[in-house]
């Protein structure tokens, strides 16, 4: 079965409403529930916007963002516990797991690890369904193009664009929430309190795009020493935030990217907006310090290089030459020599690194896919 056929089968068999199902060839998927212990103060803005636009901005995620499910792919059989986990972290503005099904499946087959597909705060099933509704979002995108003159506004990126322009604080807040959700998840696994994993299971990370930034922050901060011996494979990521170009029809529009960049260049502080349980509060300063280290390439250079130097053996990074969102030179600027850039001949992009439907290039796409995932599996197994 080639890569396109595998993708089509996995997408067809994927049942997001089922607690347990099989993909065949010995790979099962289990749906696990999660409750976030994080909270933040409501944000307010004085922008003159329509009621629908204000609804996007005021979404606090009290429902799906705090109580949600995540997926675990496994090949060891139902009701059995694995001693190896790989947490898969996705990219910015993702609303579906579709792209990642083949990635997770391949890692399970190659490593024997159980792969956890864990959603970032306000993404995928942690975001309102209407954010993915083409009809509703097209109306908002049309308003944005008309009133703000934004050329690359789309129904895909308009929800995130509105939030990043008018409430850019949500970028670090969502990141810190996901950080502490992952701290809780890994603690549950290592404490033997997860139904699918043995006590002290190895818990590595496969991180793509903005997920790679989150993985770096986790390894640098090493909360409660949970990540002391863990590894992270970074794909199409690893650069500081200021070297990324988030302006994309699939991520956020140009105006939103400009506002977010301007916000992050200031000495932004969101600590006072965050509420954590007493046992997690002592971990917040280090988390925020690590986030700031990775926010800008201009300041804290010595401290950032020292921090990244300490985790050099724990990370492996591959970028793509056609990537314009997190370009090769951005990765090089941040990681110095600790990375590799692949230069395919096929017309890929950051958002679609493996264009399965590009039939003239199908063989090369599959070859590059296998090269990357064999390398990831070798590092994370």
Looking at the whole model, is its pTM more than 0.75? yes
Residue 246 pLDDT > 90, yes or no? yes
The per-residue pLDDT for range 184-229, each reduced to its tens digit, is 999 999 999 999 999 999 999 999 999 999 999 999 999 999 999 9
Three-state DSSP at 201 gives strand
The per-residue pLDDT for range 71-118, each reduced to its tens digit, is 999 999 877 899 999 999 999 999 999 999 999 999 999 999 999 999
Residue 16 pLDDT > 80, yes or no? no
Q: Tell me what pLDDT residue 305 has.
A: 95
Q: Which two tokens stand for residue 378?
A: 């070798």
DSSP secondary structure string, 53-85?
HHHHHH---TTTTTEEEEEEEESS-TT--EEEE
Residues 6 or more apart whose CB falls under 8 angstroms from that of 357 comprise 4
Average pLDDT of the chain to the nearest whole number: 94
Q: Of 243, 242, 220, 224, which is closest to residue 315 (Cα–Cα)?
A: 220
How many other C-beta atoms are found inside a 10 Å radius of the C-beta of residue 34? 16
What does the pLDDT average to over 163-169? 95
The per-residue pLDDT for range 42-67, each reduced to its tens digit, is 887 777 899 999 999 999 888 899 99
What does the pLDDT average to over 7-14? 90
Helices (H) and strands (E) in the chain, counts: 12, 11
Give me the architecture of the 3-380 domain, per CATH.
3-Layer(aba) Sandwich (3.40)
Residues 6 or more apart whose CB falls under 8 angstroms from that of 49 comprise 57, 162, 166
Which H or E run includes 46?
none
Locate the domains of the chain by residue range.
Answer: 3-380
């Amino acid at each position: 079965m080639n890569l396109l056929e595998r993708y089509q089968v996995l997408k067809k068999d994927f049942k997001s409403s089922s607690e347990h199902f099989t993909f065949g060839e010995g790979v099962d998927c289990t749906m696990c529930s999660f409750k976030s212990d994080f909270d933040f103060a409501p944000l307010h803005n004085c922008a003159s916007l329509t009621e629908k636009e204000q609804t996007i901005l005021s979404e606090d995620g009290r429902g799906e963002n705090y109580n949600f499910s995540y997926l675990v792919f496994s090949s060891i059989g139902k009701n059995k516990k694995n001693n190896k986990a790989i947490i898969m972290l996705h990219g910015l503005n993702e609303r579906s797991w579709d792209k990642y099904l083949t990635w997770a499946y391949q890692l399970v087959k190659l490593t024997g690890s159980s792969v956890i597909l864990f959603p970032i705060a306000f993404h995928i099933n942690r975001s309102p369904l209407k954010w993915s509704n083409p009809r509703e979002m097209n109306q908002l995108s049309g308003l944005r193009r008309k009133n703000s003159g934004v050329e690359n506004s789309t129904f895909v990126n308009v929800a995130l664009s509105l939030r990043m322009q008018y409430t850019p604080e949500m970028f670090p807040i969502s990141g810190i929430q996901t950080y502490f959700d992952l701290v809780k998840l890994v603690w549950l696994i290592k404490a033997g309190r997860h139904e699918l994993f043995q006590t002290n299971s190895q818990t590595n990370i496969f991180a793509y795009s903005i997920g790679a930034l989150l993985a770096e922050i986790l390894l640098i901060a090493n909360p409660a020493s949970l990540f002391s011996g863990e590894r992270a494979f970074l794909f199409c990521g690893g650069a500081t935030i200021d070297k990324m170009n988030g302006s994309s029809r699939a991520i956020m529009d140009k105006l939103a990217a400009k506002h977010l960049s301007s916000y992050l260049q200031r000495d932004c502080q969101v600590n006072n907006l965050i509420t954590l349980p007493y046992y997690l509060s002592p971990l917040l300063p280090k988390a925020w310090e690590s986030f700031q280290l990775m926010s800008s390439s201009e300041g804290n250079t010595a401290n950032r290089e020292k921090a990244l130097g300490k985790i050099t053996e724990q990370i492996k990074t591959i970028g793509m030459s056609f990537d314009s969102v997190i370009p090769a030179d951005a990765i090089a600027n941040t990681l110095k020599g600790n990375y590799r850039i692949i230069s395919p001949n096929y017309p890929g992009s950051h958002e679609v690194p493996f264009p399965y439907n590009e039939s003239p290039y199908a063989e090369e796409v599959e070859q590059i896919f296998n090269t990357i995932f064999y390398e990831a599996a070798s590092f994370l197994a």
